[in-house]
Structure 1
Amino acid sequence: MSTLLNLLWFVLGGWISGLLWLLASVILAITIIGLPWVPATLRLASFSAWPFGRAVVSRYHGQEVSLLLNIVWFVFAGWWLALHHLVLAVLLVVTLIGIPFAIQHVKLALISLAPVGKTVIEV
């Protein structure tokens, strides 16, 4: 079932989300200052392209550095990315058929707030 949902997600816009996160990774990598956020944005690119059957969990090492990087991320990018995903989730949940996709947008909103120190696992 997750394969079918992932294919629908990818065809109906997941590829755009994945490419945009990949573009963000490239832009951050070009700037020397953005290098600490590149691994997190690459994980988000993968997760946003194929979210079904996967979950985001916290890693427990390096919490102090992750906290500092997440605070900077939240101020400059996290809050508006999360807001974008929440608006899409609300629009999708109204259609009833879009509820599984709305749930994935809520997951993306949560990880968009603080992506550093998180990893994606298969469920």
Structure 2
Amino acid sequence: MGTYHLDLGDAQTEELDDVINLLVDGDEFDVDAFVASDKGSDEPRRGSLIIVRNDERNAAAGRWVQAVEDLTTEQDVVLIVGDPASPEARRLHLTKAWAATSFHEDEDDDPEAIALAFADIAVK
């Protein structure tokens, strides 16, 4: 399993515990295997995945969570696979993503995990 980070923009990231349950056009993939083997597509590839957050949370992530949980909007989301400072780190670009479900231990806290649905996925 690789390390994963949520790209919050402005050179800010939040390390994730895991990225799981990647579904692309109805097929399930291991995230690391998908990133290593993806050749891209000219057609949009719809799907979903779950990001699992850890206890060390970036302050900017609170704003991101509010934006992605707002079902009236769609967000482009970037997940970094590997060290964000490394030029060799791959990026999963999720186009027009929204929070299909979020899992809260306590409703006053940021969610522990967020299921994101997306209109397209690309590896860069």
Same fold (TM over 0.5): no
Higher relative contact order (CA 8 A, sep 6+): 1
Identify the structure with the greater helix proportion.
1
Identify the structure with the greater strand proportion.
2
Question: What TM-score, normalized by structure 1, do the two folds share?
Answer: 0.30
Kindly name which structure, 1 or 2, has the bigger radius of gyration based on alpha carbons: 1
Question: What TM-score, normalized by structure 2, do the two folds share?
Answer: 0.30
